[in-house]
Structure 1
Amino acid sequence: MKVVAGTVAGASKTLPAQFGLINLLKAGAAQLIVLHHLAFYGPMADHARVIFPALFDWLADSARIAVQVFLVIGGFLAAKSLAPSGQAGCATPLRAIWRRYAKLAPPFVAATLVAVLASLWAAEWMTHDSISAPATLSQLGAHVLLLHGVLGYASVSAGAWYVAIDFQLYALLVVLLWLVGRVSGNRQQQWLMPLVVAAGITLSLLHFNLDADWDNWALYFFGSYGLGLMAWWASDPRRKPGMAVMLMMMALLPAVLGLLLEFRSRIALAAVTACVLFLWGRGKIASDSRAWVAINGMGKISYSVFLIHFPVCLLVNAAFTRFAPAEPEWQGVGLLAAWSGSLLAGALFHRWVEAPLSRLMQFVAEQLAVRDVHMPRPLPR
């Protein structure tokens, strides 16, 4: 990674250049998701809606498609990690899937427990349908396994479905890489995997994504995820421009056909996001200004904000319902408090929960790998 020198907050530092555009997209999408849930759930929005009714209606309805940005970025970064040149093959698929689970699940489980406690606390101060029923052990177990949607359990927290889908999509990609690699004999064919992904995008957008009964499964969302995969492979600077454009068209053509078949704003946003990443997603920006330090920081904590914002918003809703007047202005202040509180809680959750758990899981994985290396092998017969 390129390193640049910069001065931040009066102190000279050497800061790494980062994928600034990706962090900007993640930070912006995370804010829209928080605002969507604030406008959609809880009594504060019901009271404050009269201040800016059109804005509240847009946030409650259309802002939810910002999750498509995360899906496309997820595919983009998964391609970078698992198959940077687009070649099939994965030597240790189970280990790769476990690493993804170990990254996603521990902070998700911690945030789920916080949401359970927040629901119990909020129920003491208000009665509202945004409060989940007391969680059962089987429901929590399904959340731990990231199978709550598949098994038909209600989510304890808004947005919990996305974590499970992200894991499914990553696991599906690993399986495809491994399977295509085995079938092709792991020959270095840079077109085979993109062809398979393009076929998956087509099936997803022209069939599975048109049927809401599939929305607990990766195939429903693979169109958006696959657009991100193709954007990474097509933006490889080693490719000739004509080949790069052809790869991107392999992804965009089924998206266009899908939109013609049935226009879906979420798919249109996914296609636009993929095009933006294709053109500028690999660019790294020096973190030598306060603005980019803030943007990169917001991008870094976006997963924590995504995980922890709902219980924070729930508690603030309950507090303003119980202790504040029902006037729109007071409830509007509550919305601002919930929004800013979500960002603060996300930063604290990242520092004290997500990051330590990530280091712990990495340490455990390294110890298991070392033990595996030093285990005696059976003698050949």
Structure 2
Amino acid sequence: MPSSPSTPAPDALRRDDPGLQPVPGEGEGAREAGASVRRMTLVDGLRGFAALAVVLPHAAGLFMFPGAGALSEWMVQVALFGRRGVEVFFALSGFVIAYTLRRIRLSPGGVGNFILRRSMRLDPPYWVALGLFCGFLLLRTVMTGKPADWPSGMQLLTHLLYLQDLAGYGQINVAFWTLCVEFQFYLSFAVLLGLAQALSRRLGRDGVVPGFFAALFVPLLAWPSGLVPVETKAVTQSLLPHAYIFLAGALTWWALEGRLPRGAWYALILLLWGVFLWLPDSSTFAAAATCSLLYVAGRRQRLFSWLSPRPFQYLGRISYSIYLVHLPLCMLFMSIRVRVVEPSDGVALLFLGVVLAASVASAHLLHTWVEAPCVEWARRLKR
């Protein structure tokens, strides 16, 4: 059962901690009951790093050319590891959504309200990004003279509903598959949390909710452990192979909140690290490392103070917009580089800097004009 507003904060998150400094900002998870607006600065900072990391693999083509030097070869490996920013996002999503819903009783109407708020928060920037990508396709057609591979009406419709992979239409922008997985998680988690809360009320036991999800977490490790093979792209880009990452984040919050026994969290996170040792994979490592860092920060009362410098917070604030706009910019500047200059390590680094700067600048505009108003609308609906 959700803790009531009068429930004292656990020792790991005491409000009298000097590290809990007010940080202005927008978004879910910003408010504590009866407290001024605060941000989990560590979460926002990690979001910013993850967003920049995800840019790298889509810009890796800058470093792939005949006669590439050692620096370019090394940058390709770094760029490929940047894909793990996706798992960082997933773990943070589970952590923040568990925090956001910590005092909400999810009736069917409550689930609908939650999904509507998520849609108001995420959809308009996503729709704008879809339009921008179609604009990039038009620009590429003008530059190259080659016909554009325009999306069909059904492909656009399924994109608007986050169903493109489940319906088999594929991605207009390959980066958008993670948004489909995120939305599948929001819906599944809210429904299951509502059912677990109802069971908790029926049994009169508060530990049912975290216990239910802890029991669900263990069999989901069959995917990262290799016991269940992921054979098709449709399965890879669905929720199931990634669900353990979201739940690891949620369980980490419940452990810090005191609803999941500390020993149980240690057992689960050690099991996750054990899966990584059994079948080393950077995805599992990113998930386990992110949750471990969040837990350590919470126990040391630093969730609201680590990564608090303004540059980190700024990147975190626009991280969703960075994720939305970066791919067509990567493709555009890779195309320009091929046409205007001979490739070299130095040129590749220069163009990577341009890509990152353009992504941040474009994300700033998208956040200011579209995303920030949507955040406020979603917040008003919550009230």
Are residues 1:108 and 2:126 paired?
A: yes
CA distance in 2, matches of 1:349, 1:309: 12
Q: 2:351 is matched with which residue?
A: 334
Q: 1:157 is matched with which residue?
A: 173
What's the Cα RMSD here? 3.2
Amino acid at match of 2:216: G
Q: After TM superposition, give the deviation of residue 138 of structure 1 in Å.
A: 1.2
Q: 1:375 is matched with which residue?
A: none
The structure 2 residue matched to 1:38, chosen from 59, 66, 73, is 59
TM-score where L is the length of structure 1 = 0.80
CA distance in 2, matches of 1:358, 1:232: 23
Amino acid at match of 2:98: A
Q: 1:71 is matched with which residue?
A: 90
Q: 1:305 is matched with which residue?
A: 322
Are residues 1:61 and 2:77 paired?
A: no
Contact 2:53–2:79 (8 Å) recurs in 1: no
The structure 1 residue matched to 2:254, chosen from 210, 233, 236, is 233
Are residues 1:176 and 2:192 paired?
A: yes
Compare 144-153 and 354-363 and name the one that shifted more.
354-363
What's the CA shift string for 1:176-195, capped at 9, x where partnerless? 11112233445553321222
CA distance in 1, matches of 2:106, 2:266: 20
Compare 182-191 and 93-102 and name the one that shifted more.
182-191
Q: 1:205 is matched with which residue?
A: 221
What's the CA shift string for 1:149-202, capped at 9, x where partnerless? 111222122320111111111111101111122334455533212222122222
Cα gap change, 1:185 to 1:26, in 2 (>3 Å): same
CA distance in 1, matches of 2:63, 2:354: 13
What's the CA shift string for 1:185-240, capped at 9, x where partnerless? 4555332122221222222211477432422322211111111001101112x56x
Amino acid at match of 2:90: L
Are residues 1:221 and 2:242 paired?
A: yes
In the alignment, structure 2 segments of 5+ residues that lack a partner are: 1-14, 25-35
CA distance in 1, matches of 2:303, 2:253: 14
CA distance in 2, matches of 1:334, 1:57: 14
Q: After TM superposition, give the deviation of residue 321 of structure 1 in Å.
A: 2.6
Cα gap change, 1:117 to 1:209, in 2 (>3 Å): farther
Q: After TM superposition, give the deviation of residue 116 of structure 1 in Å.
A: 1.5
Cα gap change, 1:82 to 1:229, in 2 (>3 Å): same
Q: After TM superposition, give the deviation of residue 244 of structure 1 in Å.
A: 4.0
Q: After TM superposition, give the deviation of residue 257 of structure 1 in Å.
A: 4.6
Cα gap change, 1:361 to 1:25, in 2 (>3 Å): closer
Compare 19-28 and 297-306 and name the one that shifted more.
19-28
Are residues 1:195 and 2:216 paired?
A: no
Cα gap change, 1:184 to 1:285, in 2 (>3 Å): closer
Contact 1:208–1:219 (8 Å) recurs in 2: no
Q: Percent of pairs identical after alignment? A: 23
SS of the aligned residue for 2:240 comes to helix
CA distance in 2, matches of 1:156, 1:132: 12
Amino acid at match of 2:369: W
Compare 199-208 and 262-271 and name the one that shifted more.
199-208
CA distance in 2, matches of 1:111, 1:5: 28
Q: After TM superposition, give the deviation of residue 118 of structure 1 in Å.
A: 0.8
Q: After TM superposition, give the deviation of residue 314 of structure 1 in Å.
A: 1.8
CA distance in 2, matches of 1:4, 1:180: 33
Q: After TM superposition, give the deviation of residue 350 of structure 1 in Å.
A: 0.7
Q: 2:7 is matched with which residue?
A: none
TM-score where L is the length of structure 2 = 0.79
CA distance in 2, matches of 1:5, 1:139: 41
Compare 69-78 and 329-338 and name the one that shifted more.
329-338
Q: After TM superposition, give the deviation of residue 260 of structure 1 in Å.
A: 4.9
